[in-house]
């Protein structure tokens, strides 16, 4: 079964008491450009996320290549569960956080990658995170593949280089969105629910696969992905789906109360 309409997708999402929702940010909740990042997320959309968080009993998380420290301001005043740094850094809504401990070898690899990119590609935007870094650019950057290859050569096998639409994330080995989702799914309030991961980029594919392994599925934004038959055209359609889902279940709650 294939769905491409946000209202159809919303109608077939699991019921709130069985649903675990995992949302990517860039390209999924906002557009992929620097201007989109600067605009952030409008207050009414943050309010919608808040209502969904309550509706799902807290089983809503952000799964992103961003750091926890850059995710939180986007959703202020909310403090959502997050699997950041491509799933490596996990933080629950109650503040419990599981951050990877960086080894000297990992730090050395990050330093070498940053220096090599700065020398060879001085216009690239290198952004440091806790235990990771990102090389950020506009979508369609012709040098992105070369930069990713350079980063891989300097990784020494100690860090993972994950290319995407608008950035190359360099994170701890083994980190990916699938591992982040799996970790959260082992803990309440996610435990025992049906995971659905919504994302737009190559780094989201492990999240799609892990959601499928755990009895759920992925929804891809924009691009077609083999094995994912639910797709929306852009981030605006993501919000249309989320709003339709929230409205549907609010209507059902009101009808049940009458």
Q: For residue range 105-120, what is the model confidence (pLDDT) as tens digits?
A: 999 999 999 999 999 9
- In whole angstroms, what is the distance from residue 40 CA to residue 140 CA? 21
Q: Choose one of 152, 172, 192: the last residue of a domain.
A: 172
pTM of the predicted model as reported, rounded to 2 decimal places: 0.92
Backbone angles phi, psi at 53, to 5 degrees: -55, -45
Q: What is the pLDDT of residue 252?
A: 75
- Asked if 140 and 192 sit in the same domain, the reply is no
Q: What is the pLDDT of residue 4?
A: 80
- Asked if 162 and 192 sit in the same domain, the reply is no
- Asked if 180 and 82 sit in the same domain, the reply is yes
The average pLDDT across 17-28 equals: 97
Residue 189: asked if its preceding bond is cis (omega within 30°), the reply is yes
- Please report the DSSP string for 183-222 in residue order: HHHTSTTTTTSEEEEEE-SGGGHHHHHHHHHTT-EEEEES
Give me the helices (H) in the chain, please. Answer: 6-12, 34-39, 43-55, 68-74, 104-120, 144-153, 177-185, 205-213, 235-257
- Asked if 52 and 128 sit in the same domain, the reply is no
- Asked if 91 and 190 sit in the same domain, the reply is yes
Instruction: Give the confidence band of 123 by pLDDT, cuts at 50, 70, 90.
Output: very high
- Asked if 28 and 66 sit in the same domain, the reply is yes
- Asked if 156 and 181 sit in the same domain, the reply is no
First to last CA, the chain: 35
- Asked if 22 and 127 sit in the same domain, the reply is no
Q: Choose one of 120, 154, 172: the last residue of a domain.
A: 172
Q: What is residue 15's DSSP assignment?
A: P
- Asked if 23 and 135 sit in the same domain, the reply is no
- Residue 140, Cβ density class (10 Å: 0-12 exposed, 13-18 middle, ≥19 buried): exposed
Assigned domain for 226 exists: yes
- Asked if 252 and 186 sit in the same domain, the reply is yes
Q: Choose one of 114, 145, 172: the last residue of a domain.
A: 172
Instruction: Give the confidence band of 258 by pLDDT, cuts at 50, 70, 90.
Output: low
Assigned domain for 17 exists: yes
Q: What is the pLDDT of residue 108?
A: 97
Residue ranges making up the domain that contains 167: 104-172
Assigned domain for 1 exists: no
Q: What is the pLDDT of residue 2?
A: 54
The tokens describing 9, both together, are 């997708």
Q: What total number of domains does the chain contain?
A: 2
């Amino acid at each position: 079964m294939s769905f491409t309409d946000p209202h159809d997708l919303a109608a077939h999402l699991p019921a709130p008491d069985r649903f675990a929702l995992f949302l990517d940010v860039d390209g999924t909740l906002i557009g992929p450009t620097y201007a989109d990042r600067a605009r952030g997320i409008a207050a009414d959309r943050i309010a919608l996320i808040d209502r969904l968080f309550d509706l799902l009993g807290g089983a809503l998380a952000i799964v992103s290549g961003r750091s926890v420290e850059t995710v939180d301001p986007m959703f202020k005043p909310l403090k959502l569960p997050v699997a950041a740094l491509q799933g490596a850094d996990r933080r629950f809504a109650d503040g419990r956080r599981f951050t990877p401990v960086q080894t000297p070898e990992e730090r050395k690899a990050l330093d070498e990658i940053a220096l090599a990119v700065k020398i060879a590609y001085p216009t690239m935007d290198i952004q440091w995170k806790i235990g990771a870094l990102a090389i950020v650019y506009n979508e369609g950057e012709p040098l992105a593949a070369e930069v990713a290859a350079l980063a891989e050569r300097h990784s020494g096998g100690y860090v993972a280089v994950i290319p995407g639409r608008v950035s190359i994330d360099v994170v701890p080995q083994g980190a990916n969105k699938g591992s982040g989702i799996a970790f959260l799914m082992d803990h309440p309030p996610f435990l025992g629910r049906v995971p659905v991961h919504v994302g737009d980029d190559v780094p989201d594919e492990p999240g799609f696969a892990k959601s499928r392994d755990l009895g759920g599925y992925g929804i891809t934004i924009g691009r077609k992905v083999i094995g994912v038959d639910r797709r929306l055209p852009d981030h605006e359609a993501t919000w249309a789906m989320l709003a339709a889902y929230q409205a549907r279940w609010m209507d059902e709650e009101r009808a049940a109360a009458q």
